[in-house]
Structure 1
Amino acid sequence: MAQMVRYGIIGCGMMGQEHLRNIALLPDAGVAAVFEPDAGMAAKAQEFAPGAAIVGSVEELLAVDDLDCVVIVSPNYCHVAQLEEIAATRPLPLLVEKPLFTDPEDVAKLAAFRDSYPAPIWVAMEYRYMPVIASFLAHSQAATGGIKQLSIREHRFPFLPKVGDWNRFNRYTGGTFVEKCCHFFDLMRHALGAEPVRVMASAAQAVNHLDESYDGQVPDIIDSGYVIVDFDNGTRAMLELCMFAEGSAYQEELSAVGPVGKIEAFVPGPGRFWPAHLGPAPVAKLVTSPRAPQGPMVHEIPVDPLLLQAGDHNGSTFFQHQRFLALVRGETDVPEVSLHDGWAAVAMGIAAQESARTGAAVDPRRWM
């Protein structure tokens, strides 16, 4: 029998609840304690983890004896301070939701944390673990002969409401290219096996949230844009984002091209948003298109309906936790998504925000 692992959860909004639902599906794993300051969200957390203690602070959570690891799912701007508190109080294996940080001024704090933290740290990049994207990553080198160009398109719904509406403002999220798109910048680095050297972006708040007001302030988050990234091995990648395109059949589309062919991944959005009158939701698919002999080959990549119901990320949260548990149990020594990975993805997002603001190309290494 595997070692029983008991989680502490910090933050139980929409994403925190997804973590709770997926932990409940894992054998030999459970939730020992939850810290969620919003009463409504805390009550929801209790439904998904009825045996967990509901505590009033990070300090109280860390004082729970029966605790093997911690998942940080709090609002973006809280992550660094909570990392520092955990480091000072009770360093445990950590799964930290993206983005790792939001403020460029936090780079020095993160460096100090990195250099002294004794336990493993895994940054939650769920998109790597979507089955169709995992297959895309596994087969991309063979299908392309070595990726030369990578493009990622996300056409999706607007930002959803959150407790306190913190996700409406750059000062709390780091900006849309940090908050939302660090996932895609992580995929770029991972697929290309290279580091970014130049980021160019054009973006706007074209449609969403312009008629909203919070204490007299109109949201300032962008909802659409393009980002081009040059990498140190001569490859390049592009992101296309539109957050007023929920009518699309597929939410994410990835395409990698090299000297011998192309490979594509098509990822449907959350099933709970698919209109029932249209019939069954689309199934994820992988398409390989060799140059010779020509002719695309389509492979459907279905996901267990139980996992689709447990979250909005095509089953990836479950598979991510399987691997994180192996790390916590000592079955593997190295996090698959390291602190550096999470850090670099945010640096690319910060550079994209800066490029969109100034119109200049930006070197993301200044924040790495």
Structure 2
Amino acid sequence: MLKRIMKGLDAIILLLLLVFMIISIFCIYSATRTNLDYSQSYIKMMYFYGLGFMVLFIMLFINYKLILRFSPVYYAIGVGLLVLLFFKGDTINNAQGWFILPGGIGFQPAELCKLILILFLSYFLSKREVETLSLFKEILPMGVITVIPFLLVLMQPDLGNSIAYLVIFIVVCWFGHINYKHAWIGLIIMIIVSGSSLWSYINYHPEIKQFMASKHKEYWLDRVDAVLLPDQASEKATYHMKQAIKAIGSGSLEGDGYLQGTSVQTGQVPYTYADSIFVVVGEEFGFVGASVLLFLYFLLIYRMIIIALNIRSQTGIYIIGGISAMFLFQVFENIGMLIGIMPITGITLPFISYGGTSLLINMVSLGFVLSIKIYDDIDVE
């Protein structure tokens, strides 16, 4: 067993995780050292990483096919947790998407449900009998499976994670050999729906804003207005994005230097230890530091794709494809919202942002990837 595990380990992925851990701890320290309420966050992140590596190594001893068997149960539990949030959930940053556990630790079911959705969609596809996805037997049922958590998370509201579910669905369908005709139909529908929604939002914005205000949900629009209608958005709605762009831009080529970022050290950008941690990288390490971080993400995805290309299990390919899509979207959305091309959402930068739930789910996800590599040729009864 140990010989198989040692042979199946991917040294580059493990090395990348160690590098991510170092970057995360140093950036969190820089972002919180002047804030007494969060000054110990970097130490907590060390504990989270320690627990994360522990969970990852436990995954190496478990055949992923055994875990995959119970994915319908995980899905039911995940949806149940999302529903329970509306009755027992705690609100953080206007989103009722958290359970505060003993010891003050926050647990975000939306993060867990991303991995659960990947497993359940992969399990569902593993039962099919044809090469190309059937519209009624596979694509539509998978769409229903995806839409349920999508709507529940969107209602919290958590725009970032809810969109991640749609991205996972699209990528898993692609890896599952969706019929090109169905893909084109879906693309056309998406373009029509997106275009008409955008047109309606811009042209009926006062009416929409009035309606949302009557429901005490006007803050839902603030983050979207900051991107689509910056001239009409309030100063409060655009503050976060403007400050982030200013801070990242001031880093120039090489950055202001570690612990020297003016915006970071004076707290001008909200949540630089969590969702906005890329601001620390951009301001204090500049374009060079940001490019290095993006290259590290590229290496991680590259190694995952190499593993997918060298395994025989089609189900394993679905899982790796879904996990890769999850990471790529989170990186794109998190950085995009801080440079003004995406709305501000509560989505984390993988492996870098402070957050126990996000980090542990990401570590478990990579545990699945390594387990797929190790046990690819071993079937379970």
* Superposition TM-score, scaled by structure 2 size: 0.27
Which protein, 1 or 2, shows the higher relative CO under an 8 Å CA cutoff with sep ≥ 6? 2
Larger radius of gyration, structure 1 or 2?
A: 2
Greater helix share, 1 or 2?
2
